[in-house]
Amino acid sequence: MKVHEYQARQILAEAGAPVPAGEVIESASDAARAYTDAVTNAGLGEGGLAVVKAQVHAGGRGKAGFVKLVKSAGEATEAAEFMLSNKMVSYQTGAEGLDVTKLLVAAGVDIAKEYYLAITTDRATRRNVMIASAEGGVEIEQVAKDNPDAILKEPIHPLMGLQPHQARRLAFKLGFTGKQVGQAVKVMLALSTSYHRHDCSLAEINPLVVTPPTDTHPDGEVLAIDAKFNFDDNALFRQKKVAAMFDAAEENPAELRAKEHDLSYIALDGNIGCLVNGAGLAMATMDIVKHHGGEPANFLDVGGSATKEAVTEAFRIILSDEAVKGVMVNIFGGIMRCDVIADAIVAAAKEVGFKVPLVVRLEGTNVEAGRAILEGAKGDIPTMQAATDLGDAAQKVVAAVNG
Ligand code: GDP
Ligand code: MN
């Protein structure tokens, strides 16, 4: 599960990391007041620096024009109007982009230098690892490619967690000096605490910044000005506070409906809807559809214990995708019974109707009962064809769609 930046900032701040205060708004008419509040609370006053940031579950906002520095209520309003009325397109969103409905208006900071700091799981060492770089702000993937030596890693002991001496070592290697060292260590420990406390799969601060020296802070201040947290879905049952941060508006609606019925569904770009049981068989089905010249419209694993209702919902989801020009059902009944699938096909046919070609391949548990159900419903589902095996099914559906 993902959360918005403003929620991630809140989690970080609770763990003791210094994060500039901000407010979330959903209307451009609130931007002027939010600007004034942000700069006033930061002790800056009118004319002070603030930042308006689109809250979407994707990065690359800066380059896309969806992170704007503003110095007046008017500029804040203008930035808000732009972000709320345009789709954000970045290297992380795909060409269709994302709608923006929430904005964070936060106190802005002057930046002397940007750093990268994150924790994720390193499968090779079977440890969580802190990753840090003095080349922050930019895409870390690019740094990893062009200058891998600029990325530092510190493995985290599963029981003891990130140790202060590890954080200090990292801070020195990153080039922090004077009072910055202690502040950077504090942020690192806060990130580590947040990661463990909330069962994260990724916790990232990019950029972590140092502000220029001032009279009150001669070494500058180390601050987190962007945060991204992903959480392990399997732990959400014990992370009620995190689960409550879920924003359905950020999810693909079809994938959301599927999730509610415990179906593993991922929308794809093709036109052949696939309904399969078992993740491995679903992958093989997509491969064979492609092998015969077709393009799958989705990945869908109904699982072993799906009910007739869940499978019917799966058909509803597939058939509600207008790109779908044909449907292929490939069931190898083990725990899943072929008659349950057949019942669901009949129910879906009654309810939504198969206007597109449907090719069904059933094998395994209760296959005779399943075939009998479909045979009996033939008149109601004129677009249905039976297939003898996986290859036959793929060829038939591709031919039906392309023919
Ligand atoms: P992202 O592009 O989606 O990762 O959004 P970020 O929050 O990381 O912002 C992108 C960039 O905008 C940062 O790397 C900074 O260079 C700049 N930026 C963001 N907030 C501030 C701020 O308060 N002050 C200044 N000077 N720059 C900022
Ligand atoms: Mn960022």
CA dihedral 209, 210, 212, 213 (to 10 degrees): 160
Catalytic residue among 204, 221, 250, 313: 204
Answer yes or no: 116 catalytic: yes
| DSSP secondary structure of 245-314 | T--GGGS-HHHHHHHHTT-EEEE-SSSEEEEESSHHHHHHHHHHHHHTT--BSEEEE--SS--HHHHHHH
Q: Closest ligand 1 atom, CA of 62?
A: 2
Answer yes or no: 141 catalytic: no
* CB 358, CB 326: distance < 8 Å: yes
Burial 280-301 (b: 16+ CB within 10 A, else e): ebbeebbebbeebebbbbbbbb
Q: Give the whole-angstrom CA distance, residue 317 versus residue 301.
A: 13
Tens digits of residue pLDDT in 341-399: 999 899 988 888 889 999 999 999 999 999 999 999 999 999 999 998 999 999 999 99
Question: Which of 119, 121, 196 shows the shortest CA–CA distance to 159?
Answer: 196
For position 51, what pLDDT does the model report? 98
**195: pLDDT confidence band, cut at 50, 70 and 90?**
very high
Mean pLDDT of the chain: 94
Catalytic residue among 6, 35, 115, 116: 116
Residue nearest to atom 21 of ligand 1 (CA): 108
Q: What's the gap in Å between 62 CA and the centre of ligand 2?
A: 7
Tens digits of residue pLDDT in 90-99: 988 888 899 9
**209: pLDDT confidence band, cut at 50, 70 and 90?**
very high
The predicted model scores a pTM of 0.84
- The one-letter amino acid code at 165 reads H
Q: Give the whole-angstrom CA distance, residue 193 versus residue 203.
A: 10
* CB 373, CB 342: distance < 8 Å: yes
* CB 156, CB 184: distance < 8 Å: no
Q: What is the mean pLDDT of residues 217-227?
A: 97
Q: Which residue ranges have their beta carbon within 6 Å of ligand 1?
A: 51, 53, 59-62, 67, 69, 108-111, 114, 137, 206-207, 225-226
C-alpha distances in Å from residue 236, one per residue of 2, 15, 243, 244, 391: 12, 19, 6, 10, 40
Q: What's the gap in Å between 111 CA and the centre of ligand 1?
A: 9
Q: Give the whole-angstrom CA distance, residue 116 versus residue 268.
A: 32
Q: What's the gap in Å between 70 CA and the centre of ligand 1?
A: 12
